Amino acid sequence: MKSLYPYPQLVGDVRLRPTQVLLDNLPVELARISEQENVVALHGIDRRWRTARLVMETTADPREIADGPWRNVRCLVIVTNSRTHVRHSFLAENEEPGRWRAEVDLDRAAHVGHCQLDAVFAADLDDGPARLVGRAETPWRVDFDSARPTRKRTLKMVWKDFTETPALEEFRDDPWTVDAEAGEPVLYLNSSVEGFRPLMEKASGAEQRTVRQLLASHIAAQAWEALFHTALYACGTEQDEDGRPQWPGGWHEEVLRTMLPELWPDLSPDDALREAVERRREGGNGADLHARLLHAVATRTRTQKTVTETVRALRRTNDRGTG
């Protein structure tokens, strides 16, 4: 779901990726860069380093760039780290039609935790200069606390017999529930539901695997919804000197930083947090926030792909039965 602007925007894919990562001019091993997770992991390097240089490549449809109603198109790579209040922009060089290159320098002393790299396109339009006309589909994360290029997982899964667990007994008829009150969120799966655990752990045959896949997608979607709402309320009412809500820290912050860019892809993480907190605070029916959350969760859990594959599997089964 993208925000609407009263002026033209790029509709084609805008992609960002690192082509090279160097620490004090020495390249890092490729295992520390994951294009699947969009993460660069820089913890645990066997030497002390001061500056990380990431050579970032941004691509967009060259025909759309050339034929659009914009002038003076610029591509910038933006670095943000909310914990250290870092926000830098690096102007990318247009090396060839549809391809831009920027050298992004990260001072180790200026960063804690992780920072985000995003690419935006600005252009002059008839109604004003330097309009935002495009943004990378997926930003990158540079993690200073991890040696593996993976997004941190926020949910632990535990099988429990709800009928024999006092804390879960009131949910005895539910196949699963999420405990988001503890220091670490936990997804509890109910082993007392007949056939549920064998299906999820030892599905045999195409039909059972199809059902398991659909169930897993549904469970993940409900878990992400529960975690997001809990994390959003964990922000409380505290604001900084500029009137912005404070990130809650811990797993709550991890969930929000994961989900908010998918709810408001055209906003910075800080602006997206402010938007979400204001909508929660204002009350109302919350329809737009809920619709954005459903879309973000469906994207993250690949619900559309799962449903499509399930329908295809059922169609194949029906075809075999009538053949």
pLDDT average per 10 residues of sequence, the chain (323 residues): 61 92 94 90 89 97 92 95 88 97 96 90 86 89 86 77 94 93 83 93 81 89 92 76 74 85 85 88 76 88 79 71 61
> Among all chains, which residue has been given the structure tokens 């992780």?
114
The whole-number pLDDT of residue 163 equals 95
User: Taking the C-alpha atoms of 70, 75, 79 and 82 in order, what is their torsion angle to the nearest 10 degrees?
Assistant: 0
CB atoms within 10 A of CB 125: 16
Helix, strand, coil percentages, rounded to 5, for the chain: 35, 30, 35
Q: What is the DSSP string of 25-36?
A: TEEPPGGGEETT
The whole-number pLDDT of residue 17 equals 96
Q: Look at the alpha carbons of 276, 282, 283, 287 in this order and tell me if their dihedral is positive or negative.
A: negative
The whole-number pLDDT of residue 127 equals 75
Specify the pTM: 0.54
The whole-number pLDDT of residue 36 equals 81
The answer to whether the beta carbons of residues 2 and 266 sit under 8 Å apart is yes
DSSP annotation of 308: H
